[in-house]
Amino acid sequence: MDVGIAGYGAYVPRHRIKVEEIAKVWGADAPAYKKGLMLREKSVPTPDQDTITLSVEAARHAVRRAGVEPRRIGAIYIGSESHPYAVKPSGTVVAEALGMTPEVHCADFEFACKAGSEGMFVALSLARAEEMDYALAIGADTSQGAPGDALEYSASAGAAAFIMGRDRLVAVCEATYSFMTDTPDFWRREHQFYPRHAGRFTGEPAYFRHTAACARGLMEKSGTRPDDFRWAVFHQPNGKFPMRVAQELGFPRAKVEEGWLCPTLGNTYSGASPLGLTAVLDVAAPGDRILMVSYGSGSGSDGFIWRVTPRIEEVRDLAPRTRAQLEDHPVYIDYGTYAKFRGKIRKPCE
Amino acid sequence: MIGTARYWREIPQRYRYEAARCTACAHVAFPPRTLCAKCRGRAFEPCTLAGEGVVETFTVIRVAPAGYADEAPYAVGLIRLTDGVRLMAQVVDCDLARLAIGDRVRVEFRRIRQDGESGILCYGYKFVPAT
């Protein structure tokens, strides 16, 4: 029995800030940041956008492509590290906006940047178990970086949504694999506004170890090699990491570039590799095989192998393509506007 | 400021743009009513508003009411949807200097307001440029 993606959708906010604009405020070397992070600009949410609003827009695109009645979707899982409420689910608002309620199972997931792929795994598993016809998984974030920190150049906003099911598939899931250890490379304590990270420790023992091990384990489990894939998507906390891990694994640049959104999108955290997958689905041909590996600090990776079906060509233009959202009509803002949008300016209590 | 209960009651309209079409004259009421404003009919069928329209007129708010001060300046427009219904909403993500009557817009789900620092977050519809 095939199980996989029946519909997918993406949402990218329209506002952008360039690396130069951030660097000039902190007296930093913009060319060095751009080269080091392989990143030119990032998306910025407006004050009226959050994980819930981004999720609704991405999920509406997914529903349009799936062509299913929302009440047939039996579960909603939103993975994010920026749920607007500390206590109260994001999923209830999104499900209500989509018209999925009331017979729906709902949970908000957290696992740094892999919370989105966690939802995808669980939604796939419920569809495979025939617990429900369809299940919705969303990866979304409006992530924050502390002012002046390296994260401020990359932490951005976006969402990707996937409706998993057993029919109307645009991509069949051929295999999954997860790899996880306790590796404290990035965290945010309760009541803290900004996350902290362990600098270079976020590289070798964290991102590279887990991402590469997950990809290798997935290929070993499925008996595949890099040559068997037309496309590969890796978590992209910056532009450099996914390109380097792809090279280490033997994936040429041409297989990675289509889903490599970070240079102009930034790091959308839980939305990062899921958004990369939507960009690949926008251009993939029937029969193409896609390797996708997420990464979440803490740390772990979820891996998926997708095989694209002929239905992709019927549905991909039923909603805005991911790169079109990224490239068409961006609105560039200065640092002052950015600081206001992101709530970085302390104001007196009203 | 609106109460939690009223916000909750209006969720079908704020989130899903649910309206009511008079079965006698096809007039669409948004929000739904018990009596048709056009023919006085009392029978309605549910319908959903079109997600696109044009700016019929607008104003730019520069001195905003409490709770919206951080958003000023912002545009509030009267939007005529493709199904003929008119409704008032914020027009966002646009260049206020270039916003014009006749501009095509589409609906997006946005945060409308928040009840202070610890109250509920209220969501609903705003409009953005269609291109």
Nearest to A53 among B11, B109, B129 (CB): B109
Closest of A239, A238, A145 to residue A188, by C-alpha:
A145
Tokens of A5: 């993606």
3-state DSSP call for residue B112? strand
Helix (H) or strand (E) run with residue B126 in it: strand B121-129
Is residue A113 part of the annotated active site? The answer reads: yes
pLDDT for res A197: 87
In order of A15, A176, B19, B127, the CA distances from B77 in angstroms are: 21, 48, 19, 9
Is A346 a residue whose pLDDT tops 90?
no
What ipTM was predicted for this assembly? 0.96
* Residues of B with Cβ-Cβ distance to A340 under 8 angstroms: 70
Tokens of A216: 């290798």
pLDDT for res A201: 87
Nearest to B123 among A15, A53, A340 (CB): A53
Amino acid identity, residue B1? M
Over the stretch A311-339, which tens digit does the pLDDT of each residue have? 999 999 999 999 999 999 999 999 999 99
Q: Phi and psi dihedrals of A232, rounded to 5?
A: -140, 140
In order of A11, A58, A86, A91, B49, the CA distances from A61 in angstroms are: 8, 5, 27, 16, 17
Tokens of A188: 């945010």
Read off the pLDDT of each residue in A225-239 and give the average, rounded to a whole number: 98
In order of A110, A137, A302, the CA distances from A105 in angstroms are: 17, 12, 22
Query: Could you give the domains of chain A?
Result: 4-170+320-341 (3.40.47.10), 173-308 (3.40.47.10)
Over the stretch A90-130, which tens digit does the pLDDT of each residue have? 999 999 999 999 999 999 999 999 999 999 999 999 999 99
Query: Could you give the domains of chain B?
Result: 4-129 (2.40.50.840)
In chain A, the residue whose alpha carbon lies closest to the alpha carbon of B66 is: A350
Determine the Cα–Cα distance for residues B122 and A96; give it in Å rounded to an integer.
13
* Start-end of H helices in chain A: 19-26, 30-37, 51-66, 90-98, 115-128, 209-222, 240-249, 253-256, 262-265, 272-281, 312-315, 322-327, 335-341
Tokens of A317: 């233009």
Chain-chain contact of B15 with A329 (C-beta, under 8 angstroms): no
Chain-chain contact of B109 with A46 (C-beta, under 8 angstroms): no
* Residues of B with Cβ-Cβ distance to A343 under 8 angstroms: none
Please classify residue A331 by burial: count the beta carbons closer than 10 Å to its beta carbon, then call 0-12 exposed, 13-18 middle and 19+ buried. middle
- The answer to whether A217 touches A245, Cβ cutoff 8 Å, is no
Is B119 a residue whose pLDDT tops 70?
yes
Is B117 a residue whose pLDDT tops 90?
no
B16: distance to nearest CA of chain A, Å? Answer: 6
To test the contact with chain B by mutation, choose from A15, A43, A48, A83 the residue with the greatest count of B C-beta atoms within 10 A, namely: A48
Over the stretch A13-25, which tens digit does the pLDDT of each residue have? 999 999 999 999 9
Catalytic position from the list A21, A41, A57, A81? A81
| pLDDT above 90 as % of chain A | 91
Neighbours of A273 (CB within 10 A): 32
pLDDT for res A94: 98
In order of A4, A62, A82, A107, A331, the CA distances from B92 in angstroms are: 36, 23, 22, 31, 12
Read off the pLDDT of each residue in A72-81 and give the average, rounded to a whole number: 98
Determine the Cα–Cα distance for residues A230 and A254; give it in Å rounded to an integer.
9
In order of A93, A103, A159, B104, the CA distances from A340 in angstroms are: 25, 39, 22, 28
3-state DSSP call for residue A183? strand
Helix (H) or strand (E) run with residue A53 in it: helix A51-66
Tell me which residues of chain B have a C-beta less than 8 Å from any C-beta of chain A.
Answer: 11, 15-16, 66, 70-71, 92-93, 95, 108-112, 116-117, 121, 123, 126, 128-129, 131
Determine the Cα–Cα distance for residues A114 and A297; give it in Å rounded to an integer.
8
Running DSSP on this structure, what letter comes out for residue B102?
T
Read off the pLDDT of each residue in A181-195 and give the average, rounded to a whole number: 90
* pLDDT averaged over every residue in chain A: 96
Determine the Cα–Cα distance for residues B14 and A82; give it in Å rounded to an integer.
23
- Rounded CA Rg of chain B: 16
To test the contact with chain A by mutation, choose from B15, B48, B109, B126 the residue with the greatest count of A C-beta atoms within 10 A, namely: B109
| pLDDT above 70 as % of chain A | 99
- Rounded CA Rg of chain A: 19
Is B1 a residue whose pLDDT tops 60?
no
pLDDT for res B66: 86
Tokens of A27: 């007296």
Determine the Cα–Cα distance for residues A321 and A24; give it in Å rounded to an integer.
33
Tokens of A29: 């070397």
Tokens of B89: 């909403």
Tokens of A172: 């069949």
Chain-chain contact of A350 with B66 (C-beta, under 8 angstroms): yes
Read off the pLDDT of each residue in A134-149 and give the average, rounded to a whole number: 95
Over the stretch B7-21, which tens digit does the pLDDT of each residue have? 999 999 999 999 999
Catalytic position from the list A21, A113, A152, A262? A113
**Per-residue confidence band for A350, with pLDDT thresholds at 50, 70 and 90:** low
Read off the pLDDT of each residue in A244-260 and give the average, rounded to a whole number: 98
Over the stretch B57-91, which tens digit does the pLDDT of each residue have? 999 999 999 888 888 999 999 999 999 999 999 99
Is residue A191 part of the annotated active site? The answer reads: no
Determine the Cα–Cα distance for residues A250 and A248; give it in Å rounded to an integer.
6
Angle of CA points A311, A96, B6, to nearest 5°: 155
Read off the pLDDT of each residue in A82-89 and give the average, rounded to a whole number: 96
B84: Cβ contacts below 8 Å, ≥ 6 apart? B28
pLDDT for res B120: 94
Determine the Cα–Cα distance for residues A234 and A245; give it in Å rounded to an integer.
8
